A = this chain, B = another copy of it.
């Protein structure tokens, strides 16, 4: 259940364009403070802190207090659980289509 819970949190954290924007911003620019993240998108510091907390709890972002500012950066392993689920889901789909294709080929053989 632990793994499922993590995938749940990753998915819920990502299901918000503002939070995906934060990840993209941190990916492009590296570290940033809370206000550096908040200002260009016109979000209050309190609002940005809430988004960062969700991303941090989902393991997608790491934050660290340096003096009076909180520095934020990506946690690169954060998507691993979700990626693993998607890989196994897609593998299952492919297997399914291979079976359907096989069936179709066999049916074609019958009618020709």
Contact = CB atoms under 8 A, between A and B. Distances in A.
Decide if the interface of chain A is mainly helix, strand, loop or mixed. helix
Interface in A73-92: 74, 76, 79, 82-83, 85-86, 89-90, 92
B17 A89 contact: no
Size bracket of the A interface: 20 to 34
Per assembly, the copies of the chain total 2
B14 A11 contact: yes
Contacts of A15: 8, 11-12, 15
Interface of A: 4, 7-8, 11-12, 14-17, 20, 23-24, 27-28, 30, 74, 76, 79, 82-83, 85-86, 89-90, 92-93, 96-97
